[in-house]
Amino acid sequence: MAPSSKKVNKSDKTDLSDATSRHGAPASLATLSAHLGLSVAAISRVLNGVPAAKSIPKTTQDRIFAAAKEFNYRPNALARSLRHGRSMMVGVLVPEVSEGYATLVLAGIEQGLLQSGYIYFLISHHHRSELIERAQSLLMERSVDGIIAIDTIMPLHSRLPTITVSCPDEQEGVTNIMLNQRRAVELALDHLVGLGHREIAIIKGQSFSSDTEPRWQAIRHAASRAQIKLNPKLVAQLEGDAPSHEPGYFAAQRLLASDTPFTALFTFNDVSAIGAIRALREAGLRVPQDVSVVGFDDVQSAAFQNPSLTTVRQPLRTMGMLAAEALVRQITAHPDHPPSKQLVVDPELVVRESTCPPPAKKRAKS
């Protein structure tokens, strides 16, 4: 088609369609069988290199490999899965696909899964339990070998190998990847207290988020340990399932409306911290001079905020990788072998610009 004089630098893409058999359909073992005059069984054995193929002479094997290459033979994973009872597919459940938290975990999961030869379906459910249930059914029908659920409370209890990330909901045979919340909260509060803060406001997570309760327990524990008492008027909760900065913005506005002074704010996550900072600034408060803010997660943009965000880092990517590895282990393990219930990872405090000692007048007042 193209004039042969022209150098073919533009369209040097491999054309898969030519490499397959001429009638469009991809080559199957039967195609090769017809071409080689061998049975599909022999071809399958050779291509898979099973021990039984040892009795087949080298020359025949070479012919088979050559034909496979010529016809661009790709084993049909559907058929293979059906026969083999293992699909090498897993399902990943996330609340939202567009949120900072889940996507970082996802990156780790992907890395861990792909290197073990697995491929994954992604489904988001917006924390709606009927969608979670539908997703679980969908995945089971698709014969996935396992499920990883991030920040998801699962209504169905399937016997599929399952790993959860940040879901302290104890379930039979489910391994949960968790952050050490106690330690995480201590890092944040000790930092603020060490700077001299006493009037600390808290923004709790949404009720549907599985980290919310344990985090809150940890906060109460750490506060009493540090001899800080939490003023109920200085505790707000994120509301609404929008995966955006708005819930934090509105929560901070509610805190301000309570007319109770505070010099520091500890938020449920970085995204809400960013929203909260905007609300503070709109109220004429400077961060950190008037109010210090500590976030949670250390999402990518945290370091690039203005001011950059002091935050408790979760090793999200690592957690994803751990989840993937644990799942693969659970899939390939003996069914009776009991999986570990928890894998706990440690947080890290990242001090940036959004925290400093409280203003002098406030401290004098208290």
Interface residues with its own copies (CB under 8 A) are: 13-17, 24, 26, 74-79, 81-82, 87, 89, 96-100, 103-104, 106-107, 110, 114, 119-124, 133, 137-138, 140-143, 154-159, 243-245, 249, 271, 274-275, 277-278, 281, 300-301, 303-308
Least distance (Å) from DNA to the CB of residue 335? 16
Of 343, 328, 320, 327, give the one whose Cα is nearest residue 102: 320
Q: What does 55 interact with, of its own copies, DNA, none (CB < 5 to 8 A by kind)?
A: DNA
The least CB distance from residue 153 to DNA, in Å, is: 29
- By CB under 7 A, name the one of 73, 118, 250, 266 that touches DNA: 73
Alpha carbon distance 264, 289 (integer Å): 10
Choose between 36 and 140: whose C-beta lies nearer to its own copies: 140
Element (H, E) at 93: strand 89-94
By a kind-dependent CB cut-off of 5 to 8 A, residue 15 interacts, out of DNA, its own copies, none, with: its own copies
From residue 315, alpha-carbon distances to 61, 120, 182, 207 in Å are 48, 22, 15, 23
CB of 315 to its own copies, least distance (A): 14
163: enclosing H helix or E strand: strand 162-165
Question: Least distance (Å) from DNA to the CB of residue 49?
Answer: 10
Distance between CA atoms of residues 339 and 59, nearest Å: 47
- Residue linked to tokens 């302290």: 168
Distance of CA 346 to the CA centre of its chain: 17
Least separation in angstroms between residue 174's CB and DNA is 24
Burial of 211 (0-12, 13-18, 19+ CB in 10 A): buried
Write out the binding residues for DNA, residues 222-261 only, by CB under 7 A: none
Q: Which of residues 20-49 bind DNA (CB under 7 A)?
A: 25, 28-30, 37-42, 44-45, 47-48
**Smaller CB distance to its own copies: residue 50 or 156?**
156
Cβ atoms of 202 and 235 closer than 8 Å: yes
Q: How buried is 363 (Cβ within 10 angstroms: 0-12 exposed, 13-18 middle, 19+ buried)? A: middle
Instruction: For the CB of residue 103, give the shortest distance to its own copies in the complex, in Å.
Output: 4
- CB atoms under 10 Å from CB of 159, counted, come to 9
| 133 vs 241 by CB, closer to its own copies | 133
- What order of strands is seen across the sheet that includes strand 264-266? 235-237, 200-204, 264-266, 292-297, 310-313, 348-350
Beta-carbon count within 10 A of 152 CB: 29
For residue 42, the partner it binds in DNA, its own copies, none, with Cβ less than 5 to 8 A by kind, is DNA
State the binding string over 164-203 for DNA (x if CB under 7 A, else -).
Answer: ----------------------------------------
Q: Which residue has the tokens 């203005």?
A: 306
Q: What single DSSP character describes residue 120?
A: E
Rank residues 105 and 222 by Cβ distance to its own copies and give the closer one. 105
148, 109 Cβ separation under 8 angstroms: yes
CB of 241 to its own copies, least distance (A): 13
With CB under 5 to 8 Å by kind, the binding choice for 37 among its own copies, DNA, none is DNA
Q: Which of 34, 66, 79, 97 binds DNA (CB under 7 A)?
A: 79
Give least dist CB 365 to its own copies, A. 28
Phi/psi of residue 191, each to 5°?
-60, -50
Out of 17, 34, 54, 114, the residue judged to bind DNA by CB under 7 A:
54
**Interacting residues toward DNA by CB under 7 A:** 25, 28-30, 37-42, 44-45, 47-48, 50, 52, 54-57, 60, 73-76, 79-80, 82-85
